[in-house]
Amino acid sequence: MKVQRSSYSLRKRLLAISVVLGVFGAVLVARAAHLQLISPDFYQQQGDARFLREVPIATSRGTITDRNGEPLAISSPVESVWANPKELLQHANRMPALAKALGIPQDVLVQRISQRADKEFVYLRRHLNPDIAQEVVGLGIPGVYSQREFRRFYPHGEVMAHVLGFTNIDDRGQEGLELAFDDWLTGKPGAQQIIRDRRGRTVENVDLIRAAEPGHDLMLSIDRRIQYLAYRELKTALIEHGASSGSIVVLDVPTGEILAMVNQPSYNPNSRDGSGPETQRNRAVTDVVEPGSVMKTLTLAAALESGKFTPETLIPTAPGYMPLPGGYTVKDFRNYGTLTMTGVLTKSSNVGATKIANELTNEHQYDMYQRFGLGHASGSGFPGESAGVLRAPNLWGPTEKATISYGYGLSVTPLQLARAYAALGNHGRLHEATFVKGADSASVQVIDPAIAAQLMTMMETVTGAEGTARRAAVMGYRVAGKTGTSRKASGGGYAAKRYAAVFVGLVPASNPKFAMAVVIHDPQGLEYGGGAVSAPIFHHVMDGALRLMDVPPDNIEQWFAAQAKKTAAAVAAAPPPAAPVAPVAPAVPESMQ
Ligand code: 59J
């Protein structure tokens, strides 16, 4: 019974096991078939997803160059080290080594990681030298990676700082032309798929999803050499005169292109730490000044256009002051007696300008100023550009009408000044300002070419023997220009001892190539005028620029006279020539000469 019972149950049990095993096997086969044949893609994807990543491909920002292709802003490759906190936190024992390699305090590192413990990405240090980044990643700490980025470098430092501006750590423009042309300069990052192993190292580049497109290059109208000259002369003059700030703008007269633009104080764009906004402003376009006497030229333009005046019209300015109906008295530096209209410019008579303006309507006077670009933006597109202030003519009383005619009661940027004068040198055509070479900027005829020519001739007397800007003269070249020395408005009145010294000029006057404006704020000491402070800066910068650009001299007699004087001085200084050892035979027989 026992055996019987047991053989029966054994068979039964065997059967049961076979059935279970059979079913189990069938399920396995079915499962395998399902995995292998029916839906392999899904599982492949699931597997890959654990290790396959889409990563961005960094791309460089366009290079900014000067008008001759000299690089002014360059993108250079750097590495940024980042971590996956989830992964890294499982290897907390490696923190000290990591902190040391990164050069950051350990507690700072630990805090940064723990604060983002639930994230998959945190930067550890950005913009590292690729060698250092390689060392950090080479430690083989799980969850620590490095990625390529680009960083801006400005080879000319503070010389170009205000024009170029700068980018932020993500390489996007923040100020200056970097901001104005950000879309143009910024590249499109690419994307690729990579496979990482369990430790996160890249095993294989699988697929290029999108190629990176580098940003566009930008060629500026700036000439690096003129820019440097202007920078050097401005900085020297600021120190020499103890001045607080200053700007220089140089324009190419025929095209209106900006050749140089510098300001002081400046800053180092490659390391901005500690440089405040006072040093970072491009004052030549963002800051305004009461132009003072350099306005007189535009007042005279309206006078000539009215038909009531010629350059020879006599203007009595005695006794050197003139009370106005409102109670204000216009004053001249001294009593110039009766001047021609040219003489009003040569000597810079406020009384003369007032008498001339009184013969014009407010509207005509205003219209002339705004035609020359005052009161509205220059078209440069520079971020933060100021339009200046020019009040509507129906709001002018007799005092304002007078003071505006010689430059007070309105405000302009140094760029606006340079641009207005450039139009005088460009046969009366005013260009929109541009920082881009070959931009072919729009231009408008703002005054009759004949009037522009008359004003050029009149302005040449300013740098002549009788003028206020003799120190602007450049040997061998005719120079047209105008000085201004203005007391600064402060607290509702005009400060006794705070001045802006201005000079705006054009050279060569017979066929102008350059227009240059110089504005110096708060020169100290006895020499504080436009003629004493700003005219010499014009002289130095233009003397160099004319030579650099091979501009032919238009005052040949003066040029030759100077050359002859130099030669004579050299001969006089040289030691007497040694007596010839033997008579020198003539090279060509006399009979053949
Ligand atoms: C000046 C002014 C102030 C504002 C006067 C400069 C006025 C005026 C009220 C006294 C220094 C000074 C609205 S002067 O630029 O006439 O270029 O080398 O600041 O006249 O009415 O102690 N320029 N400057 N005027 N104000 N208000 C002369 C002149 C000018 C010079 C010198 C000496 C002023 C030769 C100025 C120059 O042409």
Report how far ligand 1's centroid is from the alpha carbon of 471 (Å). 18
Q: Is 245 in the pocket of ligand 1 (CB under 6 A)?
A: no
- The whole-number pLDDT of residue 593 equals 45
Beta bridge partners of 125: 81
CB burial readout 145-164, b (16+ within 10 A) else e: bbeebbbbebebebbbbbbb
- The whole-number pLDDT of residue 442 equals 96
- The whole-number pLDDT of residue 31 equals 81
349 an active-site residue? no
Marked catalytic residue, from 293, 348, 411, 486: 293
Q: What is the mean pLDDT of each run of 10 residues along the chain (593 residues)?
A: 62 86 86 74 67 81 98 95 90 92 92 89 91 92 90 96 96 96 95 72 74 95 98 98 98 98 97 88 97 98 98 98 95 97 98 98 98 96 97 96 97 98 98 97 97 98 95 97 94 88 98 98 96 98 97 89 87 74 54 48
Q: Is 484 in the pocket of ligand 1 (CB under 6 A)?
A: yes
Cis omega (within 30 of 0) for bond into 319: yes
Q: What gap in Å lies between CA 63 and CA 507, rounded to an integer? A: 32
- The whole-number pLDDT of residue 454 equals 98
Q: Is 373 in the pocket of ligand 1 (CB under 6 A)?
A: no
Report how far ligand 1's centroid is from the alpha carbon of 282 (Å). 26
- Quote the DSSP letter at residue 332: -
For ligand 1, pick from 294, 391, 404, 487 the residue to mutate: most ligand atoms within 8 Å of CB: 487
- The whole-number pLDDT of residue 577 equals 65
Residue 184 tokens, joined:
């143009």
- The whole-number pLDDT of residue 227 equals 98
**Beta-carbon neighbour count of residue 458 at 10 Å?**
22
Residue 159's nearest CA partner among 258, 228, 260, 249 is: 228
Q: Is 80 in the pocket of ligand 1 (CB under 6 A)?
A: no
Q: Is 531 in the pocket of ligand 1 (CB under 6 A)?
A: yes
Q: What gap in Å lies between CA 555 and CA 572, rounded to an integer? A: 26
Q: What gap in Å lies between CA 171 and CA 161, rounded to an integer? A: 16
Q: What gap in Å lies between CA 113 and CA 138, rounded to an integer? A: 20
Which domains are seen in the chain, by residue range? Answer: 62-219 (3.90.1310.10), 224-565 (3.40.710.10)
- The whole-number pLDDT of residue 578 equals 67
Provide CB contacts within 8 A for 475, sequence distance 6+: 543, 558, 559, 562
Report how far ligand 1's centroid is from the alpha carbon of 392 (Å). 24
- The whole-number pLDDT of residue 1 equals 47
Q: What gap in Å lies between CA 344 and CA 406, rounded to an integer? A: 11
Q: Is 354 in the pocket of ligand 1 (CB under 6 A)?
A: no
Query: Which ligand 1 atom is at minimum distance from the Cα of 502?
Result: 17
